[in-house]
Amino acid sequence: MTFTIASTTVLSNGVEMPLLGLGTYKAVEGAEVEQEVLAALEAGYRSIDTASMYGNEAGIGRAVRASGIPRGELFLASKVWNDEQGYEETLAAFERSAERMGTDYLDLYLVHWPHAVLYAETWRAFEELYRQGRVRAIGVSNFLVPHLETLRAVAKIGPMVDQVEFHPRLQQPELQAYCGEHGIVVEAWAPLMRGRVFEEPVIVSIAGHHGVSPAQVTLRWLLQKGLVAIPKSVRPDRIRANADVFSFELSPEDVGRLDAMDTGERLGRHPDSWGLGQR
């Protein structure tokens, strides 16, 4: 498999989404996130993931403009937060995100977490934004199979992406199979297990064999599986290293060893733990 940093996956509506993007959760608004984004764009990243909840959309917008890279060459994604769900609320939340980022449109807009009551209204707003061309693709985040089933029962346009926690310890085979069947691209958050890949002996050993780091092994594994990965780092050396995953290839045996690490262990919240819409 020959990948480059420009490699994309094609969403169900034909839009191309870069396989490697930049995560920005906890990158602080202001100099920190601006420098992160500029370093990433310089290293060749063209896809940036944020959310209204991260509080750094404005800084990302400033960095994007400062880079001078034409908007059409970038893939910008944001998310509607839990307390912004509902039809009118979502339309207004989108306008706020777009304005903060200084862009007329987003390449991808995601529902951050599933809401048991408001999901249909939120999604109706997503479909409206999509029809109006304000977003090139629409998707969800943290939706498990039952959430996707419930949504698809009311959706006129199905989600094109599901961004979920995904790494060697949490591979969600049922969700992967469901998304594969329904043409939904799986995007991995916390792909580096928030740094814990460096403590996993199997990953460390594969990394040693290839002369690369455990982070590079894990990202390469995700790309070879056809998933989108959005590692986050605010350090330029790590940003560059996380994108340097195109000069080696994992063997089927390496992939098998990583696949065998799944224990279903979550580092972040379970999608139902918010109790959104449940009383």
Residues that bind ligand NDP (CB under 6 A): 23-25, 49, 112, 141-142, 163, 189-195, 215, 230-235, 238, 241-242, 268
CB of 230 to ligand NDP, least distance (A): 5
Identify the residue whose tokens are 């937060």: 81
In the complex with ligand NDP, the residue whose CB is nearer, 62 or 232, is 232
Query: Which residue, 34 or 49, is less far from ligand NDP as judged by CB?
Result: 49
CB 170 within 8 A of CB 264: yes
Q: Considering beta carbons, is residue 91 or 110 the nearer one to ligand NDP?
A: 110
Q: Smallest distance from the beta carbon of 81 to ligand NDP, in angstroms? A: 10
In this chain, which residue has its C-beta nearest to ligand NDP? Answer: 23
* Strand duo 228-229 + 138-141: pairing: unpaired
The pair of structure tokens assigned to 76 is: 């910008």
Q: How far apart are CB 144 and ligand NDP at their closest, in Å?
A: 13
Closer Cβ to ligand NDP, 68 or 275, answer by number: 275
> Shortest approach of ligand NDP to residue 51 CB, angstroms?
7
Could you give the 3-state DSSP secondary structure of residue 197?
A: helix
The residue type found at 265 is E
The whole-angstrom separation of Cα 45 and Cα 88 is: 33
Tokens 């990948």 appear where? 3
Active site residue 109: no
Q: Catalytic pick from 25, 45, 54, 105?
A: 54
Least Å distance, CB 185 to ligand NDP, is 14
How near is the Cβ of 176 to ligand NDP at its closest, in Å?
A: 17
d(CA 32, CA 44): 19
Q: 137 or 253, CB closer to ligand NDP?
A: 137
Q: Which two tokens stand for residue 234?
A: 């605010």
Bridge partners of residue 163, in order along the sequence: 141, 187
133 or 264: CB nearest ligand NDP: 264
Q: 92-96 long-range CB contacts below 8 Å, 24 or more apart?
A: 93/52, 94/125, 94/129, 94/134, 94/135, 96/52
For residue 245, give Cα distances in angstroms to 61, 90, 104, 221.
27, 37, 32, 10
Residue entry with tokens 């449940």: 278
Residue numbers annotated as active site = 54
